[in-house]
Amino acid sequence: MWRRAAKSSSFLPLLLQLPKHDASLPQRFTTGFPFHAPFQEKGGISPKQVAPLITFVLGGPGSGKGTQCAKIVETFGFKHLSAGDLLRREMISDSEYGSSILNTISEGKIVPSEVTVKLILREMEASDNQKFLIDGFPRSEENRAAFEQIVGAEPRFVLFFDCPEEEMVKRVLSRNEGRIDDNIDTMRNRLKVFEALNLPVIDYYSKKGKLYRINAVGTVDEIFEQVRPVFEACEQEAK
Ligand SMILES: Nc1ncnc2c1ncn2[C@@H]1O[C@H](COP(=O)(O)OP(=O)(O)OP(=O)(O)O)[C@@H](O)[C@H]1O
Ligand SMILES: Nc1ccn([C@@H]2O[C@H](COP(=O)(O)O)[C@@H](O)[C@H]2O)c(=O)n1
Ligand SMILES: [Mg+2]
């Protein structure tokens, strides 16, 4: 079981609302995707019939994950779920834990896994698409374990955009989208967190034979030409 936030955490109200996994409850998808009955018990979304195709998209801050995801969506019709975008949206909503998310993102740290998984799960449930690109997740072993436990599914494959630090720093500092974490101090922390917590997850998927390493240096189109065959092969497999 993953670590829960300390009792004093201002994330606690959200954590208390999370559905608990119960293996005895019905499966929402026919294979590999045991879902939480609480949604169904409340008369919520009806069960989906097909197991979703999940791809995790990993890489350091500014490695180009979001940019490439937009091209994958355009070409292969996936639903793009950026964990960072979902957290930022939650942060500016009226929710009482918005300020905790803001503090965590400002420091370049990782938001408790239950919070992030709940936001991802909510989007998956609401989508008609069965193909999901989950960008910037899992950022840690704790994220990974929480996803497997709560969602009950594993990624079909994982993309890793491998980019040198100097290039990532350059891209982030010239991104100009008004993000609170796009400054040199937070960027230093994000790089440390990436190395300490995210690289072990990348290594985990590499050992499982699920990792596709993409050289993230070059033009956007050049990089996409490395990504394209991975998804084409996946489409072929599905036929
Ligand atoms: N191949 C590239 N060459 C130069 N700039 C790029 C390239 N790909 C993306 N960028 C730019 O670099 C910046 C970061 O890209 P992007 O937002 O896609 O990265 P990210 O991995 O999603 O970052 P984060 O983890 O911080 O969300 C953006 O301004 C984007 O336009
Ligand atoms: N799994 C995640 C993903 C993101 N965060 C927090 O959001 C920040 C921005 O994420 P991007 O993917 O948009 O770069 C990140 O630095 C974390 O603070 C998270 O906690 N967990
Ligand atoms: Mg991004």
Which CATH number goes with the domain that contains 225?
A: 3.40.50.300
pLDDT digits (tens, 9 = 90+) for 60-105: 999 999 999 999 999 999 999 999 999 999 999 988 789 999 999 9
pLDDT of residue 179: 97
Q: Is 120 inside a domain boundary?
A: yes
CA–CA separation, 228 and 239 (whole Å)? 17
pLDDT for 213 beyond 80: yes
Q: Is 8 inside a domain boundary?
A: no
In the chain, the percentage of residues whose pLDDT exceeds 70 is 79
191-222 residues labelled b (16+ CB within 10 A) or e (exposed): bebbeebbeebbeebeeeebbbebebeeeeee
Bridge partners, residue 215, by sequence? 162
Q: Is 22 inside a domain boundary?
A: no
pLDDT of residue 47: 53
pLDDT of residue 239: 83
Q: Is 185 inside a domain boundary?
A: yes
pTM for the model stands at: 0.86
Q: Would you place residue 20 in the very low, low, confident or very high pLDDT band (cuts 50, 70, 90)?
A: very low
With H, G, I as helix, E, B as strand and everything else as coil, classify residue 168: helix
Number of domains the chain is built from: 1
Q: Is 7 inside a domain boundary?
A: no
Q: Is 116 inside a domain boundary?
A: yes
Q: Is 129 inside a domain boundary?
A: yes
Q: Which domain holds residue 66?
A: 56-238
Distance 111 CA to ligand 2 centre (A): 7
List Cα–Cα distances, 1 to 14, 30, 148, in angstroms: 18, 25, 10
Q: Is 108 in the pocket of ligand 2 (CB under 6 A)?
A: yes
* Ligand 1 mutation pick, 57, 65, 67, 193, max ligand atoms within 8 A of CB: 67
Mean pLDDT of 9-34: 36
Q: Is 46 inside a domain boundary?
A: no
- Locate all alpha helices (DSSP H) within the chain, ordered by sequence: 12-17, 37-41, 65-76, 83-92, 98-107, 113-126, 141-151, 165-173, 184-193, 199-207, 220-238
